[in-house]
Chains A and B, each alone.
Chain A
Amino acid sequence: MWRRPARCRSSSSYRANRIFRAQVSDRRGQAEVKDMSVMEFLSMGGHGPYIWGSYGVMALLMIIEARQVIARKRKALALQRSIGYGDRS
């Protein structure tokens, strides 16, 4: 579990700016853990618009599709309820 470093525990601004801890790697691919601000996280090293544009559009499409199919099923059930028992078997 992540804990705020001792040197920053009394700082209220730390809570606002330093909330992420992420794995980064140097050029040799060695992983290390580094504290990261919200803005640093969102900018993604300058690739933020590409990354969030990808994830955002995909999430939006999936949410719209899921809502649309659930609404269609509810509508079909409501229509069936409204006509009651039919004459097909």
Chain B
Amino acid sequence: MSDKRVQWFKFASPGNFFALVEKLLPWLWAAAIISTVAGLYIGFFVAPVDYQQGNSYRIMFIHVPAAWMSMFIYFILAVYAFITLVWRIKMADVLAVSLAPTGALFTFAALWTGALWGRPTWGAYWVWDARLTSELLLLFLYLGYMALHAAIPDRQRASRAASLLALVGVVNLPIIYFSVKWWNTLHQGASVSVSKGASMDSRMLAAMLLLSFACWMYAIAVSLTRAQAETLDRERGATWASSLAAAQAKEPEGDVETTGEVPV
């Protein structure tokens, strides 16, 4: 019984991590592309026009997933930062560093799409509303984390300092989420709630959930690919990396194909 159990800790080893990610990536990209196509089709050809906002509401199909991802990714980044600080596991820092640019991208996308949705709906691209301002602060936290990590030459000190910053920044997440309840904001409340369900047409909800799933798959695929590159950069010359490169040299040009475990 215990022999069949997956030993998750072995994936904390860079070589095993690389091999596992290599197997996952094609599935992640396929899921991201298929759900994107399905979500866009439903969003533009099946979901009806909103009787109040007209077609501009269709920005919601990417604005809401981008905003969700910006917060989820920061939360996961903070968990890895905590693991880095407490247990000093190398792969936790690699994953945190790999998540940050993708999180920053989604935060920028949430702000950008929100501005373009705000103009026809509110009459302004930007207002110093609590939700918008706290989301902008999240973008600065991502940029600060990346800048701090890159600015300190000693990698261990860099990861500790940046992890501390990431943990301090977690306080911003409940502020973003509850800002529409705590303050009288121009930004609307949540359209999808765990307790109340969704307050929108089922076709609109389907498009939004499909594109949210696509964003998840994309974020995981891109972050893991970046983590692979980061691992290779940090472990250059290690036995597992050399074996992997030797196996690669025998194959024609293209993506990496590894089978099973590699020496660690």
What is the interface of chain A, defined by CB distance below 8 A to chain B? 20-29, 31, 41, 44-47, 50-51, 53-55, 57-58, 61-62, 65-66, 69-70, 72-73, 75-77, 79-81, 83-89
B232 touches A65 (CB 8 A): no
Give the residue name and chain of the B residue nearest to A53 (CB).
Answer: B116
Q: Which A residues are CB-close (under 8 A) to B225?
A: 66, 69-70, 73
Complex interface: chain A residues within 8 A of B246 (CB): 81, 84-85
Q: B76 → chain A, closest Cβ, in Å?
A: 17
Chain B residues lying within 8 Å of A70, measured Cβ to Cβ, are 225
The answer to whether A65 and B236 have CB atoms under 8 Å apart is: no
**Of all chain B residues, which has the CB nearest A44?**
B55
A25 to B198, CA, bound (A): 20
B residues near A79, Cβ cutoff 8 Å = 232, 236
Interface of A is mostly: helix
Indicate if the CB atoms of A50 and B222 lie closer than 8 Å.
Answer: no
The reply on B88 being an interface residue by CB < 8 A is: no
Q: Which residues on A sit within 8 Å (CB–CB) of B239?
A: 85, 88-89
Identify 17 residue pairs between A and B in the complex whose beta-carbon atoms are under 8 Å apart, listed by A's number: A24-B48, A46-B54, A50-B120, A54-B59, A54-B117, A55-B62, A57-B109, A61-B105, A62-B105, A73-B232, A73-B256, A81-B245, A83-B236, A84-B242, A84-B246, A86-B236, A86-B237
Residue of B nearest to A58 (CB): B109
Closest to B101 in A: A65
Determine the chain A residues whose CB is within 8 A of the CB of B49 once the complex forms. 23-25, 45
Tally chain B residues at the interface, Cβ within 8 Å: 51
CB-contacts of B34-81 with A (<8 A): 44-51, 54-56, 58-59, 62-63, 66
* Besides A23-B47, A23-B49, 13 other A-B contacts (C-beta < 8 A): A29-B201, A45-B55, A50-B56, A58-B109, A65-B105, A69-B226, A73-B226, A75-B229, A76-B236, A77-B232, A81-B245, A85-B242, A89-B239
B35 to chain A, nearest CB (A): 13
Q: How far does the alpha carbon of A72 sit from the alpha carbon of B228 in the complex, in Å? A: 9
Q: Is the CB of B109 within 8 A of A61?
A: yes
